[in-house]
Amino acid sequence: MTTPADSLDLELAPEDNLRLGNLCGQFDQHLRLIERRLGIEINNRGLSFRLIGPPATLAHGEQLLRDLYALTEQEILSPETVHLHLQQSGIEAALREPELPEVLIKTKRGLIRARGPNQQAYLHAILRHDINFGVGPAGTGKTYLAVASAVEALETERVRRLLLVRPAVEAGERLGFLPGDLAQKIDPYLRPLYDALFEMLGFEKVNKLIERNVIEVAPLAYMRGRTLNDAFIILDEAQNTTPKQMKMFLTRIGFGSKAVVTGDVTQVDLPRGQPSGLRQAVDVLREIEGISFTFFSSRDVVRHSLVQRIVNAYDHHDQRQPELAAAG
């Protein structure tokens, strides 16, 4: 499921705003569910839709939207309806990818293996391309495998520095009022990256590399005006970048550098009405040679089996809320 990312445009008919709202769901929750399950991005303006993702998936996504829009003439859709339609259609089973040759990442703490064909595709893409996008829901290994690839590149001296970057959306301009130095102020926003580094390199070595500035952690805003050579740069939580921030980040890449951008376009924390830089980048850059896109879906989640059950329980609870409210 790597580059090139393709796109497919479709128009739904007949024009009916009530049916369109029914298809999309409250706050577009039905579209976000389809994105997570199929590993694609869906943008729309009225009844004009653009689907972006692996070419093999787009036709399935188009047919699903057409089927669901036809269904809106007869009933009010719910997330459960969309879920059941996906299951009954067999789309997800049809999209399972053949396995690629295994890529093993060697760190001093041991070997790291991909879990599943899509993670293998992701690692192959990172090896072959200088700029890589990993797009999909939490728990699919996007960030962890990016950090593992960065650590291996550093230890084999293919790069001289690691840069770990995140947009500190929740802090905004309040960073200056928090106690401590820059690293202490932004630690909460970079904790997932630190955790992966500690696991692969050990606590003491990570701290020594940070002291020597071999590993740098910084909020995205501090990348402005820099040119980064011979570095492995990871931008995590990229769905919370603005289009200007994303362009600024991507144009920092210098000679001998590699970048991995990870994010979940269904979990944007930007102010309402502010477009996501990640969503725009997928649309604008999908045909650029040398840039790879790996699209993960919910079937790629590799966390503890209880996590899946917990997510399913919350989804079921959320689906029942409208029914309970109507009954009350």
- Grouping H, G, I as helix, E, B as strand and the rest as coil, residue 169 is coil
The predicted structure's pLDDT at residue 246? 95
Going from N- to C-terminal start, the domains of the chain cover 6-96, 104-296
| CB-CB contact of 135 with 263 (8 Å) | yes
| The predicted structure's pLDDT at residue 175 | 46
CATH fold for domain 104-296:
Rossmann fold (3.40.50)
Identify the CA nearest to 114 among candidates 274, 249, 300.
300
CATH of 6-96, one of 1.20.1050.140, 3.30.300.30, 1.10.510.10, 3.30.1370.10: 3.30.1370.10
pLDDT tens for the chain, residues 1 to 328: 444 568 899 999 999 999 999 999 988 989 988 888 888 889 999 999 999 988 878 888 898 999 999 999 999 998 888 877 876 666 655 555 555 566 778 777 678 888 878 888 899 899 889 999 999 888 888 999 999 999 999 998 999 999 999 887 654 444 444 455 555 555 666 777 888 888 898 889 999 999 999 999 888 888 888 888 999 999 999 999 999 999 999 999 989 999 999 999 888 888 888 899 999 999 899 888 889 999 887 777 766 656 656 766 776 676 666 555 555 5
d(CA 95, CA 97): 6
Cα–Cα dist 238/252, whole Å: 15
Q: What is the pLDDT of residue 215?
A: 93
Q: What pLDDT is attached to residue 49?
A: 96
Question: What is the reported pLDDT for 171?
Answer: 41
Q: What confidence score (pLDDT) does residue 324 get?
A: 53
- pLDDT (0 to 100) of residue 318: 65
| Long-range Cβ contacts of 74-81 (<8 Å, 24+ apart) | 76/22, 77/22, 77/23, 77/25, 77/30, 78/25, 78/319, 78/322, 79/25, 79/29, 79/30, 79/33, 79/315, 79/318, 79/319, 80/316, 80/319
